[in-house]
């Protein structure tokens, strides 16, 4: 039986109200993030159906690892979220696994991939820095000239961007993004548009300078698109951390899981998934996991899915 998850919302100083497009009851007009699939300590989704209803995903991960093919990892490895940036996010960077393990209590680092769901005209993201060294960028920070040392990219709906650990980045105003990432909530911010935060968070320039890769360019993603049973399958990225695939389904798809468990979010449309004879309704905003017990799955309807797995 698939595990359907109750979303968790986070209000942010830069958030908006576009997450209500996904049939969500958002808490305010400054809702910046929906964590759709997460077992991270900062946001644990609750199971909504079946025998595990009422338990959190981390509980099921720890107590019933057989549902995940006995995956050999202490922590649930991935996190999927939607980000609504009414205003620009801080300019920040994430550490890699080795740095996070040493300096952040053995946590995962964070590499992530973005799918641009929607973007206003001339909206942009920041990926990378034009500074060629730690010293050069540190001087830009001291001069309050960080915005003069970032690489900007105008974005459109339907595009994908991979952000490896160590790449400076930010989501700009008017961009709605779906993210698959390592299960981490570590960010080192270097610039926050002179906003006064009430949550006590602050810039972490020293750690950011430790981990920024000053020679890294934003990798170009050209999805590998194939037609499977008359449905469009676009493999966005596949690396040591995760694979992320977009499916545009119209009609019936007999789906064979590529791994023991897969994380699935419905970004458009509606329909149903049938697993081992049971029917589960799907709509825009549904988030669920096909487990190792879901051997035969059939999707029926008109919808767009993002499927992520190790």
Which of the residues are catalytic?
Answer: 189
Give the annotated binding-site residues for Zn(2+).
Answer: 94, 112, 169
Question: What does the alpha-carbon distance between residue 71 and residue 146 come to, in Å, rounded to a whole number?
Answer: 42
- Burial code (b: 16+ CB inside 10 Å, e: under 16) for 48-80 equals eeeebeebbbbebbeeeeebbeebeeebbbbbb
**Do residues 94 and 191 make contact, with C-beta atoms less than 8 angstroms apart?**
no
Question: What does the alpha-carbon distance between residue 127 and residue 140 come to, in Å, rounded to a whole number?
Answer: 17
Q: Which DSSP helix (H) or strand (E) runs through 98? A: helix 97-103
Q: Could you say which DSSP state residue 40 is in?
A: E
For 236, phi then psi, to 5°, come to -85, -50
Closest CA to 129 of 119, 118, 139: 139
CA atoms within 13 A of residue 264's CA, in its CB half-sphere: 28
- Burial code (b: 16+ CB inside 10 Å, e: under 16) for 152-167 equals eeebeeeebbbbbbbb
**Partner residues linked to 83 by β-bridges:** 33, 177
Q: Could you say which DSSP state residue 220 is in?
A: P
Give the annotated binding-site residues.
Answer: 94, 112, 169
């Amino acid at each position: 039986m698939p595990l359907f998850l109750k979303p968790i919302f986070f209000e942010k100083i830069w958030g908006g109200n576009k997450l209500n497009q996904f049939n969500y009851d958002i808490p305010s007009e400054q809702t910046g993030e929906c964590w759709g699939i997460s077992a991270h300590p900062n946001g644990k989704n609750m199971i909504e159906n079946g025998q595990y209803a009422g338990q959190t995903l981390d509980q099921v991960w720890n107590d019933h690892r057989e549902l995940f093919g006995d995956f050999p990892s202490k922590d649930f490895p991935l996190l999927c979220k939607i980000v609504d940036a009414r205003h620009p996010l801080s300019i920040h960077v994430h550490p890699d696994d080795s740095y996070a393990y040493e300096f952040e209590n053995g946590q995962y680092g964070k590499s992530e991939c973005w799918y641009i769901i929607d973007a206003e005209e001339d909206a942009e993201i920041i990926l990378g820095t034009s500074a060629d060294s730690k010293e050069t960028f540190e001087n830009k920070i001291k001069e309050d000239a960080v915005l003069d040392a970032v690489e900007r990219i105008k974005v459109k709906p339907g595009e994908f961007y991979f952000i490896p650990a160590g790449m400076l980045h930010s989501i700009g105003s008017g961009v709605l993004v779906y993210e698959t990432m390592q299960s981490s909530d570590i960010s080192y911010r270097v610039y926050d548009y002179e906003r006064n935060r009430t949550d006590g968070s602050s810039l972490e320039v020293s750690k950011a300078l430790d981990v920024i890769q000053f020679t890294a360019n934003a990798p170009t993603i050209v999805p590998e698109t194939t037609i499977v049973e008359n449905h469009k399958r676009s493999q966005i990225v596949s690396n040591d951390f995760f694979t992320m695939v977009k499916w545009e389904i119209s009609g019936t798809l007999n789906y064979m899981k590529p791994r023991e468990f897969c994380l699935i979010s419905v970004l458009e449309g509606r329909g149903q998934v049938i697993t081992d004879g049971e029917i589960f309704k799907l709509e825009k905003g549904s988030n669920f996991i096909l487990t190792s017990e879901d051997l035969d799955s059939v999707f029926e309807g008109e919808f767009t899915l993002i499927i992520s797995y190790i």
